[in-house]
Amino acid sequence: MALHYVDKPETYISDLASTGVYIFTNEIFDHIDKILAARADELEKLPKKAFHDDFDRTQDSLMLESDVLPNLASNKKLGLYITQDFWRQIKTAASAVPANGLYLNSAKQEIPGYCAEGKEGGPEIVGAVYIHPSAVVDPSAKIGPNVSIHAKSHIGAGVRIKDAIILDNVIIKDNAAIINAIVGWGGKIGRWSRVEGNPDNGDEKTDQVTSSGVKIDSICILGQDITVSDEAFVRNSIVLPHKHISSDIHNEIIM
């Protein structure tokens, strides 16, 4: 049972941190109603001149971490599950690639058979790699480390994939390279093409992909149904769904 909950404390409170995964019963809605009613009563008691920037939020607006969870804890309604397993915050799509690597390395050690193993007549496997049983990978491809290849994807001859997530139904043709990137559902990557982002260096900034609407150094992200033509180089860019990239692009956001 959690006795106290503080969002982003400025002083030491505990050596426990919330990983942001919550399970609620329907009773949560009753608590929210009570919190909103209490806030409405407080606002009614304030003189009109007291309403300023601090009250820009309407009385119907609540923040889970600062309004709801502390209330549940004070009413002894907030349980918790303490784990010693790894966790990583995922704020943006850029966080997914290093998080994928962490998960795969953990699974490789703890879940026998989950990760792919190199074998005679199969592709070269480096480090922790997951390949869905329905995916087809050419024996001459080199995969890993930290790669997930999902259902019904096809990986051609001589392909190199490293630090990447390949989602369902992706076709990567011969001798293409995918490095530090996410390739969305149904993507088609041409022969000798290259999709590459910048590696995660442990800096918090690598969790971001844009700043003020401009692409910054981070992973490369291709949305759903993206076609990259043969020999094209997509570097450090974000491409929104249903686009055809026929020439090189660098540090761009393609809407």
Q: 147 and 105: one domain?
A: yes
Tell me what pLDDT residue 218 has: 83
Average model confidence (pLDDT) for the chain?
88
Query: Average pLDDT of 118-139?
Result: 96
- Asked if the structure places residue 14 within a domain, the reply is yes
- Asked if the structure places residue 255 within a domain, the reply is no
* Strand pairing category for 227-228 and 244-245: parallel
Q: What is the pLDDT of residues 145-192, one digit of tens each?
A: 999 999 999 999 999 999 999 999 999 999 999 999 999 999 999 999
Using CA atoms, how far residue 228 sits from 30, 66, 83, 178, 209, in Å, is 51, 45, 42, 12, 20
Q: 119 and 8: one domain?
A: no
Whether the pLDDT of residue 41 is over 90: the answer is no
Query: Average pLDDT of 119-130?
Result: 96
- Asked if the structure places residue 227 within a domain, the reply is yes
Long-range pairs for 131-139: beta carbons < 8 A, 24 or more residues apart: 138/174
Q: 242 and 171: one domain?
A: yes
Q: 172 and 231: one domain?
A: yes
Q: Which residue has the higher pLDDT, 59 or 123?
A: 123
Q: 150 and 185: one domain?
A: yes
Residue 217 in contact with residue 236, Cβ under 8 Å? yes
Q: Which of 50-54, 65-69, 131-135 has the lowest average pLDDT?
A: 50-54
Give the structural domain span for 30: 1-84
Looking at residue 158, which CATH number applies to its domain? 2.160.10.10
Among 54, 84, 114, the domain boundary falls at: 84
Q: Quote the pTM value.
A: 0.77
Whether the pLDDT of residue 216 is over 70: the answer is no
Among 84, 118, 136, the domain boundary falls at: 84
Give the 3-state secondary structure percentages of the chain, helix then strand then coil, rounded to 5: 25, 20, 55
Q: Considering its fold, how many domains does the chain have in total?
A: 2
Q: Which residue has the tokens 């193993």?
A: 117
Q: 68 and 104: one domain?
A: no
- Asked if the structure places residue 191 within a domain, the reply is yes
Helical H runs in 162-223? none
Q: 64 and 100: one domain?
A: no
Q: 69 and 98: one domain?
A: no
Among 84, 104, 127, the domain boundary falls at: 84
DSSP code of 242? Answer: S
Q: Which residue has the tokens 């496997």?
A: 125
Query: Average pLDDT of 212-240?
Result: 89
